[in-house]
Each structure stands twice: as C-alpha cells, then as structure tokens.
Amino acid sequence: MRARIVALLAACALVVFAGCAKKKVLSLADLPPETTLFVQGPVATVPDRVHLYWFGSDPDGEIVGFELRFKNPAAPADTQWAFTTRSDSVFSIFAPSGLAMPVFEVRAVDDKGLRDPTPAREDFSFSNAAPTVGFMQGFRTTDTTYASATLTWAGNDPDGDAGAMRFEVGLDTIPAALHLVAGNSFTFDTTDFKIGATYATTRPRQAYLRAIDAG
C-alpha cells in the first residue's frame, strides 16, 4: 500500500513539473525582399529613351522603396545607389562615343531596412552613328555688310530622329560666338561679327556649323 502511494505521488510530481515547463518559441531571422525588373515594349539599339518597371515582394514585411543605379563602363565612377519610392521611370541613354553598354540595377528595401542581396538587373547595348550636316546656302563673295547674314542647312541622322537634332553655329569657330539652334537656319546679326569688343576690318569670315543628335 505504501509503495502504491509513493508511486502515485511521483506521478503527480511529474504532472506538476510537466505543467510548469516553459514553451519553446522558434525565432526566424528576418528575410530580405526580392526584386523583379522588366521592360515594357521593344528596346531599340539606338540610344534614346527606355521605360523600365520594377516591383518588390517581402515574405515577412513590407516594401518601403527601391534603390537603383545605372552602371556605365564609360563612367565607372558613377555607381552610387539612389533611393526612390517609384516603381517605374523613363531613362535617357547617351552614347557620345558611338557605343554604350550600361547596366541597370534595382533592389527593393523593406520596412526593416533589409535590401535585396541579389538586385534585379538589365544589360543594354546601344550604338549611335554620328549625324551629318551640309550648308544649303553659304556666304557669297559679294556679302560685305555687317548688318546680317543668314545660313540654311540640312541635317541627317542615320539612326535617329533628324527632327530632334540641334546645331552649333558660329563665326570663325570662336567658341564664345556659338549659338545652339534647333531649326535649319540662323541669321547672324551685327554683334556676331565682333571680335572681342570691336568690329574687325574687312577680312574673310568663316561660318562654323556642327550637328548634334539626341544620343
């Protein structure tokens, strides 16, 4: 009988201890967000504009914004991340040397400050042929007046929009005398014929014209 009572007390003690045991809580580390990037519509190989879209997802939080950057081999120092809350943007691509191969990267940022460790990226390759321009009407040997002189020209961009071209116009290739023109003609007025602060004596003058395309 005594042995039975001892066994019963031991069983009760096990029940009490089991009831007082602490529950184990499994703690998981915060998970970083994921980023998806896509381009809507075709992307031409001629540099102009490209419209990019992106979005993020976070399994244990909320997306508060994005960090993005363009990595251009022609400008390796320009690699800083820029923060934005936008989910799309239009970017202008320039290839002044004739070829550009930039890389666009974007990474989501969640409400805990975590960033996507594997940013979404898109590689681009753009080419740009130099434009050409020619005078339609130049100065004549009989043009001796300082009053005004009008030049007209025609430009061509083999791989871009000729209507978006601009032109630098000047006399004697003096940088300070250059005018940036969007049309196909320009009239020099009297002040354009000055050299420094004075008018030159009678001498031949040379018109300067250079085409600039959108790339």
Reported as a single tens digit per residue, the pLDDT across 75-123 is: 665 678 999 999 998 887 777 677 778 889 999 999 999 999 999 998 8
Q: What is the mean pLDDT of residues 141-157?
A: 73
Report pLDDT for 5.
Answer: 44
Question: How many beta carbons lie within 10 A of that of residue 82, not counting itself?
Answer: 10
- Can you name the CATH fold of 132-212? Immunoglobulin-like (2.60.40)
Report pLDDT for 157.
Answer: 83
User: How sure is the predictor about 175, in pLDDT bands with cuts at 50, 70 and 90?
Assistant: low
Residues 91, 92, 96, 102: what is their CA dihedral angle, to the nearest 10 degrees? 10
- H/E stretch holding 82 reads strand 82-84
CATH number of 34-127: 2.60.40.10
Residues of the chain with CATH 2.60.40.10: 34-127
Residues 155, 194, 189, 138: what is their CA dihedral angle, to the nearest 10 degrees? -40
d(CA 65, CA 70): 17
pLDDT digits (tens, 9 = 90+) for 3-13: 444 444 444 44
How far are the Cα atoms of 21, 27, 110 from residue 30, in angstroms, in the given order? Answer: 28, 9, 10
pLDDT digits (tens, 9 = 90+) for 13-51: 444 444 454 554 444 678 999 999 988 665 555 556 788
DSSP string, 134-183: EEEE---TT---SSEEEEEEEEE-TTS-GGG-EEEEEETT-GGG-EEESS
Cα-atom radius of gyration of the chain, to the nearest Å? Answer: 35
pLDDT digits (tens, 9 = 90+) for 190-214: 777 777 677 766 677 788 888 888 7
Report pLDDT for 27.
Answer: 47
Q: Does the reported pTM lie above 0.85?
A: no
